[in-house]
Chain A
Amino acid sequence: MILKGHAHVYGDNIDTDRIIPGKYTKTLDMQRLADHVLEDLDPEFHKIVQPGDMIVAGENFGCGSSREQAPLAIKTAGVSVVIAHSFARIFFRNAINIGLPLIELSSYNIETGDYLEVDISKGIVSNMNNEESYQGAKMPDVMVKILSENGLVEYLKKNKSYS
């Protein structure tokens, strides 16, 4: 699967409180989450994000709470993939479990507004603006399988168990 979109670049340690503040998490209305995504970090983001856009961040993206509302808010806002130097452990699992692809890149040269193409199955990110490509880290096989089913709900519905 090839994803295409523009980059929104942020720094290190973007915590779940800044991805979706706790005061908005008590809802089953995913659009309500998307309306507040990243608002304490970048109040403009939820207004300008376009379907397919990509978040590009530094180290430890998604640290803090286990709230699955964090990747859900990002996905519902239309973001197609999150690229970061590294991810916090729980966020990583949550994102894959709800079918939001993540790519870990140890280094990249990407600026906000750059147009990216991402080959999810190969883990390759290409920056169309500077014509550079970057190879992402390999995920454990079990995560690749879960992501290929678009998340853990569909995976377990089909397989009934972990294998």
Chain B
Amino acid sequence: MGQTIIEKIISNHSSQRVTAGDIAIVDVDLVMATDTTGPLTIKAFENMGGTKIWDPTKMVLVIDHASPAPNEGIAVLHDLMRKFATEQNIKLYDVGDGICHQLIIENQHVKPGQLVLGADSHTCTYGAIGTFSTGVGSTDLAGAMLTGKTWLKVPETIKINITGTLQEGVVAKDLILYLVGILGIQGATYQAIEFTGEVIERMTLESRMVLANMVIEMGAKAGLVDLKGLDLPYDYEILKPDEDANYTRIIDIDVSDLEMQVAAPHSPDNIKGISEIGEVQIQQAFIGSCTNGRLEDLHVAADILKGKKVHPKVRFIIAPASRQVFQEALADGTIEILSAAGASFLPSGCGPCVGTHQGIPGNGENVASSTNRNFQGRMGNHNSNVYLGSPAFVATAALHGKIVNHNLTTKEAIDSL
């Protein structure tokens, strides 16, 4: 029997050839923690009797979830992380540097075929470059810091083959929302997903990151995107699945008719086409997060908002995914366009997405957001409603003060105001 990609990666990191269902002890190439999970990780590491981590070059800490610190308690936790990083000689990304998953890819901390643990559920993002990366909790991460290893159950794999041509304005976010809708919030629990097909081959790295990022919204352990069509600036080996690899499911989808997709409150799998949503007034619009805060996302928003003003009753907030993204958007004029349209810029970080600070909605308010989760209370107020969609969905909603069918032309949309 042949192997899937994830079976190959896990085999390469363990002493045995594995297939789905096996339990394997594996070597870990990188571990990562944030300010939500890092302090507990450090505590667990010390409680295990840890003094020096197994390899300081293989750990990254990122202060991004509540950054800059919104209160004294969190400032103390940030300080604990900085001291640990200095003592252990670990790379730490500090306030404003960016969101962990963006920084890990941007600064080439991971490569295709590697095995990575991150104490953040969206660690699966690195599947965009063929890395097996998965989210764990603080204590599991501490175990890897101590031993350089972890244990894993080798997951089964679902193959998703995506063909056709996406319509104008329909992007990777719509595609992954559509898939979350089909498979459901636990449709891939304990499993890996392989994405392949001509639609994937035409995607940018940024768009591939969107796909891999949200596989956790189906419960998946990993989402590995076919490397075909991707040009990475270093040498790497491409792992391909064997022809006789075993899949639990093979899904073939032609996405040529797909319209813009939206996750309605209060679950990322409550997916509707934009034409089914009806009119929903919004009070806040947010573009950011590890899902959709990258340069191409800001470009889409700027194209929609150039020379216009967002609706006067909408608070339009943008948190670029990293300082590098911000600087590139500054250099090419994107920031100027968005600022003139009424956007407020936050430091790069996770804040509004995870309800920590900087953009908590009021009671009864509706938010259009480019993030990944809309569970009740996710953005910090359980009496608010979050609609998830692409950056184009958010920018269009910000412009009109309501969710607008993006399938209409801009002129029709303006006439309908």
- Among residues 116 to 156 in chain A, which have CB atoms less than 8 Å away from a CB atom of chain B? 140-142, 151-153, 156
Chain B residue nearest in CB terms to A97: B139
Q: Mark B122-161, 1 if CB is under 8 A from A, else 0.
A: 0100000000000111111011001101110100000000
Q: Which of A17, A63, A89, A142 contacts B378 (CB 8 A)?
A: A17
Q: Is A80 an interface position by the 8 A CB rule? A: no
CA distance A88 to B23 in the complex (A): 18
Q: Is A37's beta carbon under 8 Å from chain B? A: no
Q: In whole angstroms, what is the CA distance A161 to B147 when docked?
A: 6
Q: A17-B377, A89-B189 are in contact. Are A26 and B356 (CB under 8 A)?
A: yes
Chain B residues with Cβ below 8 Å from A65 are 120-121, 354
Task: Check: A52 CB closer than 8 A to any chain B CB.
Answer: no
Determine whether the beta carbon of A67 is less than 8 Å from that of B380.
Answer: no
B355 lies within 8 A of A88 (CB): no
B381, chain A: closest CB distance, angstroms: 9
- Contacts of A48-95 to chain B: CB distance below 8 A: 59-60, 63-69, 71-72, 86, 88-90, 93-94
Residues of B within 8 A of A88 (CB): 186, 189, 219
How far is it, in angstroms, between the C-alpha of A83 and the C-alpha of B413 when the chains are bound?
A: 50
CB neighbors of A among B146-182 (8 A)? 146-147, 149-151, 153
B4 CB to closest chain A CB (Å) equals 17
Q: Is A105 in the interface zone, CB < 8 Å from B?
A: no
Indicate whether A66 sits within 8 Å of B135 (C-beta atoms), given known contacts A22-B354, A26-B35: yes
B49 at the interface (CB under 8 A from A): yes
| Contact A17-B36, Cβ < 8 Å, known A22-B356, A88-B219, A162-B150 | no
Of A13, A65, A97, the most chain B CB neighbours within 10 A belong to A65
Docked pose: A118 CA to B74 CA in angstroms: 39
Expressed in whole angstroms, the Cα–Cα distance for A22 and B66 within the complex equals 10
- What is the CA–CA distance of A28 and B147 in the complex, to the nearest angstrom? 24
Q: Are A157 and B47 in contact (CB under 8 A)?
A: yes
Asked if A103 is an interface residue, CB under 8 A from chain B, the answer is: no
B121:A90 contact, CB within 8 angstroms: yes
Query: Is B278 among interface residues, defined by CB-CB distance under 8 A?
Result: no
The answer, yes or no, to whether B288 is at the interface (CB within 8 Å) is no
Interfacial residues of chain B within 269-311, with CB under 8 A of chain A in the complex? none
Residue of B nearest to A99 (CB): B139
A-side interface size class: 35 or more
Residues of A within 8 A of B378 (CB): 17, 22
Tell whether B233 is near chain A: CB-to-CB under 8 Å: no
State whether the Cβ of B37 lies closer than 8 Å to any Cβ in chain A: yes
Within 8 Å of chain B (Cβ to Cβ): is A44?
A: no
Check if B139 sits within 8 Å of A151, measured CB to CB.
Answer: yes
Chain B positions within 8 Å of A22 at CB level: 36, 65, 354-356, 378, 380
Cβ contacts under 8 Å, B40 to chain A? 28, 68-69, 72
Cα A161 to Cα B25 in complex, Å, equals 10
Chain B residues within 8 Å of A60, by CB: 185-186, 189, 219
**How far, in whole Å, are A156 and B54 apart by their CA atoms in the complex?**
14
Instruction: Flag if B189 contacts A18 (CB, 8 Å).
Output: no
> Is the beta-carbon distance between A64 and B375 smaller than 8 angstroms?
yes
Q: Which residues of B contact A66 (CB under 8 A)?
A: 37, 118-121, 123, 135-137
Please pick, from A13, A15, A23, A153, the residue contacting B380 in the complex, using a CB distance under 8 A.
A23
Q: How far does the alpha carbon of A93 sit from the alpha carbon of B121 in the complex, in Å? A: 13
Residue of A at shortest CB range from B66? A26
> Could you mark each residue 361-378 of chain B with 1 if its beta carbon is under 8 Å from any beta carbon of chain A, else 0?
000000000000101111
Does A111 reach chain B (CB closer than 8 Å)? no
A158 shortest CB reach to chain B, Å: 10
A90 engages B373 (CB within 8 Å): no
B residues in contact (CB < 8 Å) with A: 23, 25, 35-37, 39-40, 43-44, 47-49, 65-66, 73-74, 77, 118-121, 123, 135-140, 142-143, 146-147, 149-151, 153, 185-186, 189-190, 219, 221, 267, 354-357, 360, 373, 375-378, 380, 382
11 A-B contacts, Cβ less than 8 Å apart? A22-B380, A23-B360, A60-B189, A66-B121, A66-B135, A67-B37, A68-B37, A89-B219, A90-B121, A152-B142, A162-B143
Residues of A within 8 A of B (CB): 13, 15, 17-18, 21-23, 25-28, 40, 59-60, 63-69, 71-72, 86, 88-90, 93-94, 97-98, 140-142, 151-153, 156-157, 160-163
**Which 8 pairs of residues, A with B, have the shortest CB-CB distance?**
A94-B137, A68-B137, A97-B139, A66-B135, A60-B186, A17-B375, A40-B382, A66-B121
